[in-house]
């Protein structure tokens, strides 16, 4: 494990420059870019710049060979703010676009970061790779199972490098925990728990519809989602609590945790899924997605439990979020704060001993988002998707499993998956796999 940790540290230094500061300011930039030939520089554009779109771009700008040359967003105030953010870091101002399709016409853009709401991910990703761009797309990769499958086909057809923003895949603690799980030391693993208890999330207040803010192209923001009057609750961050655009905490946090769980266990699709929950904490707030949910996935030889709760922090093992692999010999718990192993005990000759050695809490090294950015950049420079820590195929597995959980919740049934036919045995569940586009937008065909 010490060698793996050293490898991660070296990877970070390799991608970012041996003595690079944490953030490249405009003053620092000239000194570092003099070492980077024009042919080695990567020009980025961002679609959706408000939240994670900017966080991802900011992480990439810590590398001296990365330039932000274009920003696309439907909110002019966001465009202006992020333009100045780039100027503060690099001393240059990127071009602004209110329609991402115009930005994709620029042949000088090598890479596109997609940070839009989920219901836009499929369209923007397919358009980007078909325009010859490599892509870093936020998670979950899409808002339906059909869109997830389309995005995988698009990458395979156009052959571009596509990384998914499930950056836990680049965290040292997750790599070490996965190695331990695969070592077999936990014994037979019967249950994997994944959870997110989010105490910071308060009720979404009910607000009346109102006129769209100045400088916002709300029709473009809606895109393929159903037409609705503007409501501030559905805009920017809170979009994720409405079914038109996203899947609530099940897909927002779930893909992160479920991704690690499934990778460690070596599985991709469940045999069955059932879910129960609802708006139990805040029944009268404005959100649509459940604030409380338990979802049970049945895989070959073990079950996985996903659970989430808003407004409280009392998660499993004293942590607000994480994954626990529960084996006959011990339980391994990992989250963003690190990992540990809690042994089971047994009595031999009247003496109670641990079945395996306890592993005290081990903290992560480095910044996993920065490492994820470095990993993507290195894969692009090598033009080798096999180098990616979370390729689109990988991201699709977690997103599809999370969508299955929401489908089970919406149908109120225990749904069964037919892997050979790539569909459920329930027609109601199969209907919910499909993408429904509106306002003249069409589901991409690849």
DSSP-derived 3-state class of residue 65? coil
Given a contact cutoff of 8 angstroms between Cβ atoms, the answer to whether 189 and 302 are in contact is yes
On whether both 163 and 235 belong to a single domain, the answer is no
Q: Which domain holds residue 10?
A: 2-169
In a domain, 303, yes or no: yes
The pLDDT confidence band at residue 349, using thresholds 50, 70 and 90, is confident
Q: In this predicted model, what pLDDT tens digit does every residue of 40-78 receive, in sequence order?
A: 899 999 999 999 999 999 999 999 999 999 999 999 999
On whether both 14 and 110 belong to a single domain, the answer is yes
d(CA 138, CA 49): 12
On whether both 31 and 58 belong to a single domain, the answer is yes
Given a contact cutoff of 8 angstroms between Cβ atoms, the answer to whether 297 and 429 are in contact is no
In a domain, 389, yes or no: no
On whether both 98 and 201 belong to a single domain, the answer is no
Q: Which helix (H) or strand (E) holds 401?
A: helix 392-411
d(CA 19, CA 242): 44
Q: What is the pLDDT of residue 37?
A: 67
On whether both 117 and 153 belong to a single domain, the answer is yes
d(CA 165, CA 114): 9
On whether both 206 and 139 belong to a single domain, the answer is no
Q: Which residue has the higher pLDDT, 414 or 1?
A: 414
Q: Are strands 359-362 and 351-354 parallel, antiparallel or unpaired?
A: unpaired
The pLDDT confidence band at residue 35, using thresholds 50, 70 and 90, is low
d(CA 286, CA 202): 11
Residue 304 phi, psi (nearest 5):
-125, 135
Q: Please check the confidence at residue 17 and state whether its pLDDT lies above 90.
A: no
- The mean per-residue pLDDT over the stretch 370-394 comes to 97
In a domain, 380, yes or no: no
Q: Please check the confidence at residue 31 and state whether its pLDDT lies above 80.
A: no
On whether both 136 and 198 belong to a single domain, the answer is no
d(CA 351, CA 237): 55
Total domains, the chain: 2
On whether both 163 and 229 belong to a single domain, the answer is no
On whether both 165 and 214 belong to a single domain, the answer is no
CB within 8 Å of 444: residues ≥ 6 apart: 122, 123, 126, 127, 150, 154
In a domain, 370, yes or no: no
SS3 content of the chain, % helix, strand, coil (to 5): 40, 25, 40
Q: Are strands 415-418 and 42-47 parallel, antiparallel or unpaired?
A: unpaired
Q: What is the pLDDT of residue 271?
A: 98
On whether both 249 and 151 belong to a single domain, the answer is no
- The mean per-residue pLDDT over the stretch 338-345 comes to 98
The pLDDT confidence band at residue 132, using thresholds 50, 70 and 90, is very high
In a domain, 379, yes or no: no
DSSP-derived 3-state class of residue 134? strand
Q: What is the pLDDT of residue 47?
A: 98
Q: Which of 169, 191, 211 is the last residue of a domain?
A: 169
In a domain, 239, yes or no: yes
Q: What is the pLDDT of residue 40?
A: 81
DSSP-derived 3-state class of residue 202? coil
d(CA 432, CA 444): 17
Q: What is the pLDDT of residue 12?
A: 47
- The mean per-residue pLDDT over the stretch 87-113 comes to 97
Q: Please check the confidence at residue 210 and state whether its pLDDT lies above 70.
A: yes
As given in the structure block, the two tokens for residue 112 are: 């596109």
* Size of the chain in residues: 446
Q: Which of 123, 147, 169 is the last residue of a domain?
A: 169
On whether both 79 and 215 belong to a single domain, the answer is no
pTM of the full structure: 0.92
Proportion of the chain above pLDDT 70, given as a percent: 91
Given a contact cutoff of 8 angstroms between Cβ atoms, the answer to whether 65 and 40 are in contact is yes
Q: What is the pLDDT of residue 33?
A: 46
Q: What is the pLDDT of residue 286?
A: 97
Burial class (CB in 10 A: 0-12, 13-18, 19+), 98: middle
Q: Which of 137, 169, 201 is the last residue of a domain?
A: 169
Q: In this predicted model, what pLDDT tens digit does every residue of 386-441 receive, in sequence order?
A: 999 999 999 999 999 999 999 999 999 999 999 999 999 999 999 999 999 999 99
In a domain, 416, yes or no: yes
In a domain, 444, yes or no: no
As given in the structure block, the two tokens for residue 50 are: 């408000």
Q: Please check the confidence at residue 14 and state whether its pLDDT lies above 60.
A: no
Q: Please check the confidence at residue 4 and state whether its pLDDT lies above 80.
A: no
CB within 8 Å of 260: residues ≥ 6 apart: 168, 169, 174, 177, 178, 323, 334
Range with the lowest mean pLDDT among 6-10, 101-105, 130-134, 324-328? 6-10
What is the domain-level CATH number for residue 129? Answer: 3.40.50.720
On whether both 94 and 211 belong to a single domain, the answer is no
Q: In this predicted model, what pLDDT tens digit does every residue of 255-295 receive, in sequence order?
A: 999 999 999 999 999 999 999 999 999 999 999 999 999 99
Q: Which helix (H) or strand (E) holds 323?
A: strand 321-327
């Amino acid at each position: 494990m010490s060698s793996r940790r050293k490898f991660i540290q070296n990877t970070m230094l390799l991608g970012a420059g041996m003595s690079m500061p944490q953030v490249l300011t405009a003053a620092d930039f000239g000194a570092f870019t003099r070492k980077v030939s024009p042919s080695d520089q990567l020009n980025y554009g961002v679609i959706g710049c408000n939240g994670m779109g900017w966080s991802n771009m900011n992480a990439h700008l810590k590398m001296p060979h990365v330039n932000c040359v274009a920003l696309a967003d439907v909110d002019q105030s966001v465009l202006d703010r992020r333009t100045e953010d780039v100027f503060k870091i690099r001393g240059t101002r990127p071009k602004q676009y209110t329609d991402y399709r115009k930005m994709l016409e620029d042949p000088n853009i090598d890479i596109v970061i997609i940070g839009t709401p989920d219901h836009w991910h499929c369209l923007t990703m397919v358009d980007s790779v078909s325009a010859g761009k490599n892509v870093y797309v936020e998670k979950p990769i899409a808002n339906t199972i059909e869109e997830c499958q389309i995005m995988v086909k698009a990458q395979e057809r156009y052959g571009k490098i596509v990384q998914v923003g499930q950056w836990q895949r680049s965290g040292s603690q997750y790599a070490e925990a996965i190695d331990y799980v695969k070592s077999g030391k936990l014994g037979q693993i019967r249950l994997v728990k994944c959870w997110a208890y989010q105490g910071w999330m308060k009720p979404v207040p009910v607000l009346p519809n109102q006129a769209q803010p100045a400088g916002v192209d709300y029709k473009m923001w809606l895109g393929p989602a159903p037409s609705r009057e503007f409501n501030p609750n559905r805009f920017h961050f809170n979009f994720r609590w409405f079914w038109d655009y996203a899947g609530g905490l099940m897909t927002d946090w779930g893909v992160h945790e479920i991704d690690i769980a499934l990778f460690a266990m070596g599985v991709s699709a469940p045999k069955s899924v059932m879910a129960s929950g609802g708006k139990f904490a805040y029944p009268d707030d404005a959100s649509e997605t459940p604030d409380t949910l338990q979802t049970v996935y049945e895989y070959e030889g073990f079950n996985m439990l996903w659970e989430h709760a808003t407004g409280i922090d009392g998660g499993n093992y004293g942590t607000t979020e994480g994954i626990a692999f529960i084996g006959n010999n011990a339980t391994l718990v990992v989250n963003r704060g690190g990992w540990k192993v809690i042994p089971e005990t047994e009595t031999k000759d009247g003496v109670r001993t641990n079945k395996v050695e306890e592993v005290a809490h081990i903290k992560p090294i480095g910044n996993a988002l920065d490492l994820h950015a470095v990993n993507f950049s290195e894969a692009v420079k090598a033009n080798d998707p096999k180098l990616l820590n979370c390729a689109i195929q990988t991201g699709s597995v977690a997103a599809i499993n999370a969508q299955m959980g929401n489908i089970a919740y919406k149908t109120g049934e225990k749904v069964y998956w037919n892997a050979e036919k790539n569909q459920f045995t329930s027609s109601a569940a199969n209907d919910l796999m499909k993408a429904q586009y509106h306002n003249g937008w069409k589901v991409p065909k690849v």
